[in-house]
Structure 1
Amino acid sequence: MALGLVALVAVLVFAYRVFREPRRLGNAVWFGVAACLTGLWLLDQVAGISWLRNLALAVLAAIAALIVLVLPWALIANGIVMWRREGHGLANLLSLLAGVALLVVFGATAATAMLGRFPWLTAIALTSLVITGYFAFLFAALLAYSVLYGTFRRERDANAIIVLGAGLLDGRVSPLLAARLDRAIACRKRSATTDPVMVVSGGQGPDEPVSEAEAMGDYLREAGVPAEKILLEDKATSTEENLRFSVAVLAEHGHTGKMVAVTSNYHMFRTAVLARRLRLRLDVMGARTATYFVLSAFLREFAALLAQYWRTNLAAVVLLAGTTSVLTWLHR
């Protein structure tokens, strides 16, 4: 009974927070807490029914086996694909590094279980496992809430549509960027009561012959968007600058009213969180991304959010490490 009430409270808190402001990062954490507590309550409810209990335990065992035996190798395989297709930058190695890190943690934990004579080794292994669990919980909660956020209704009759830039390919719009532009064009066509202006945002990289904004503007004109409905913002070099500079361009041209920003689906929620921090009244829409690219890209988004809230995460890691170490030594 008590567990059910706690789970209900967590669900209600999550629902209230989403109703008030869906762009809060804390919503993802509350979603994860509510899901875990609800899952525990459901397990408690089926504990007295033998076949349901056995089924639930079998499912949990299968999930655990997949996490330990399959997930690290899947991450490594994705990292190799990213390395071959997207280049050798650190950002494209995140899934490979994550897979290797999981193998090290799981291997160290297994070795410690077999060599249980060394309390200090047990403390290190368990601390690593707990911290890994913490980041895994955050990642899963953020991924799940990002998918949920993508299903929320977006403003269809916006007065302005901001398209966030991405890297060019030989001076032309890349497939990733084309997907964002196509989503923005579709959004503009669906607008029933407005004729929205479109802001294309992106500066010129050192290896790019033109700015991202210029290439994006050419793409929109070729797609039939009137030139007078296209505004260029060609200075931005980050997501924050994409948003701030684009809103400033709209203000300079006297455009007010509802705004929607379009980016890739993996980048959507972090953009929304950033827009809230900048106190910008706009929603964010996501465009489809190649399947192989999503996992690595989302890991990059996850790392960026961790860095953005590094103080909170550092405090959590220190607390978990200290608590686990003390409990391990007390029970040695």
Structure 2
Amino acid sequence: MFAFVVAAVFLLLFAAGVLRDRRRFGNAVYLGLAVTFLGIGLLAGIDDAPPGVAETVMIVGLLVLGLGPVVLAALLCANGVKMVRKEGRRPANLLALLAGLGMFALMGLAIAAAVTRSPALGVLVGTTLLVLAYVSFLFLCFVGYAYLYGRMRIRRDADYVVVLGSGLVGGHRVPPLLASRLDRGRQVYEMLAARGGDAPVLITSGGQGPDEALPESHAMADYLVERGFPAGAVLREDRSRTTEENMLRSKELMERDRPGSSCVIVTNNFHAFRAALTARRAGLDGQVVGSPTAAYFWPSATIREFVAVFLQYKVVNLGICLTLILLGVLAWAVR
């Protein structure tokens, strides 16, 4: 009963957080804690369930704990190989492969600790699992809430649609990933314009990289205009180099022309929640929506997005991880 009460408290905190501002990582943590305590409450009362339910839950749990990590690691490695073949060997494209290999390494270390009965290996494995459990909990919170955030409807009109840039192919051509953002941005623009009142302005946001022949925002605007989008409805923001700069520079343009305006920000769906957190920090009054992305791109991209969010709160997160490591060292010292 106590677990259900705690779950209800965290669920209320989650609902209040969403109503106050959808763009908070705390909402994800509250939701994760609510689900966790709900699960604990259900498991605590499993003895009162109909015959066979407890046995079934136990079997499923053992299968998940025993085979789940192996299957997940294998899938991550397979996806990582596909990612490298399609996108190249940039560090960001190796994340799924590295995560899968890391899981296999930890499983091998756990087996070695069990076979050798080494106290040192046992403490190392136990400490690593503690840190991994904490990081995995946050990762599941991130993925779960990012999924929900990406499906929240645009709940009001907006004065601007801001499409975030990405790299150009050959230094001048819009790649498929960026084209999907622009197509989605156009859909949002047309939806808002159809509501009546003043039509919004679409801002293409992206500066010029060292290997690009023109600013990303110019190539993005050309892409839209060539496909029939009204040229007078496009505003180019061509000074930004990062997502945070995209937000700040776009905000400057909006405040210059329409002080106090609101916007809808468009990026790829795997990037939407982190972009929303960045928009909140930049003081931008805007919801973020995502455009479709190829399925093979998701694992590495999601890991990259989570790492970036994890490090945004590095004082808290690294402090907790360090505390868990110190507990492992203490356990080794007093063994």
TM range (shorter): over 0.9
The letter for the 1-side match of 2:99 is A
Distance 1:24 1:67 in 2: 30
Partner of 1:134: 134
Task: Give the unaligned 5+ runs of structure 1.
Answer: none
> How does 1:256-295 map onto structure 2 within 5 Å?
256-295=260-299
Structure 1 residue 324, shift from structure 2 partner = 3.8
Is 2:220 aligned against 1:219?
no
The letter for the 2-side match of 1:2 is F
Is 2:128 aligned against 1:124?
no
Of stretches 122-131 and 58-67 in structure 1, the one that deviates more from structure 2 is 58-67
* Partner secondary structure for residue 235 of structure 2: strand
Distance 2:21 2:113 in 1: 45
Structure 1 residue 329, shift from structure 2 partner = 5.9
> How does 1:232-247 map onto structure 2 within 5 Å?
232-247=236-251
Partner of 1:10: 10
Partner of 1:161: 161
Structure 1 residue 255, shift from structure 2 partner = 6.1
Distance 2:107 2:75 in 1: 15
Partner of 2:102: 101
Distance 1:2 1:282 in 2: 38
* Partner secondary structure for residue 48 of structure 2: coil
Partner of 1:19: 19
Distance 1:312 1:76 in 2: 30
* TM-score, with length taken from structure 1: 0.94
Moved over 4 A (4+): 327-330
The letter for the 1-side match of 2:62 is A
Q: What does the per-residue CA deviation read over 1:223-272, in whole Å, with 9 as the maximum and x for residues that have no partner?
A: 22211110001111100000110111223334652211100111111111
The letter for the 1-side match of 2:61 is L
| Residue pair 2:83, 2:297 contacting (<8 A) in 1 also | yes
| Residue pair 2:261, 2:285 contacting (<8 A) in 1 also | no
* TM-score, with length taken from structure 2: 0.93
The alignment of Structure 1 onto Structure 2 pairs a total of residues equal to 330
RMSD over equivalenced CA pairs, Å: 1.7
Distance 2:60 2:32 in 1: 19
Distance 1:298 1:151 in 2: 17
Partner of 2:184: 183
Distance 2:266 2:67 in 1: 35
* Partner secondary structure for residue 264 of structure 2: strand
Task: Give the unaligned 5+ runs of structure 2.
Answer: none
Structure 1 residue 153, shift from structure 2 partner = 2.0
| Residue pair 2:267, 2:288 contacting (<8 A) in 1 also | yes
The letter for the 2-side match of 1:261 is I
Distance 1:47 1:296 in 2: 41
